[in-house]
Amino acid sequence: MTKNYFLLSLSLVFISFSGNAQEATSGIDGMRKNAISFNIAGSTPMVGIVYDRVVSENVSLEIGAGIPSVGAGFKYYPWNIQESKILFHVGLTGGYLFTEALDIWGTSDESGVFFGYLPIGISYFGEHGFNLGVDLGPIVAANFGPWGNIKVGYRF
């Protein structure tokens, strides 16, 4: 029950920000605010597809699904989001890794694990839609350790 409540809460937060996105992003002239990206690690701990949306001049939200996980989070850009510039970002991502899908021998009695990730890195929003992000930071799941993310995609 707790797992479903957590995923529902993340979904509702994402939807509420998206509902206000039209007004919040009006100051970003002509920028492509949506992106679909291929992701390695990050909010989809192995590989996955991530949708993200710029909701203000400093914030983007993302939601992703991968093998075998789901995740959502945000990134904060302290010096405003701009096209054709390398931008510094920090953020927070949470998700759920379905460990039963990885348990090929059937030795685990856990169905999955929640994780939290604090990405610190750089992003590039290309003028013609190219999207790139690389970050590193700590992850907290069953243990605490380093984590990373590489994201390549297209903005529209």
Written as tens digits, the pLDDT of the chain (156 aa) is 455 444 445 454 445 444 444 443 344 777 899 999 999 988 887 899 999 999 999 999 999 999 889 999 999 999 999 999 999 999 999 999 887 655 555 555 667 889 999 999 999 999 899 999 999 999 998 788 999 999 999 999
Q: Do 69 and 111 touch, CB atoms closer than 8 A? A: no
Residue whose C-alpha is closest to residue 151's, from 123, 128, 127, 126: 123
The pLDDT of residue 147 is 92
The pLDDT of residue 109 is 60
103 Cβ contact partners less than 8 Å away, ≥ 6 residues apart: none
The pLDDT of residue 27 is 47
Sole residue written with tokens 């998700």: 95
Q: How many domains does the chain have?
A: 1
- pTM recorded for the entire structure: 0.77
Residue whose C-alpha is closest to residue 133's, from 54, 67, 69, 15: 54
The residue range of the domain holding 37 is 2-24+31-155
Question: Looking at residue 118, which CATH number applies to its domain?
Answer: 2.40.160.20
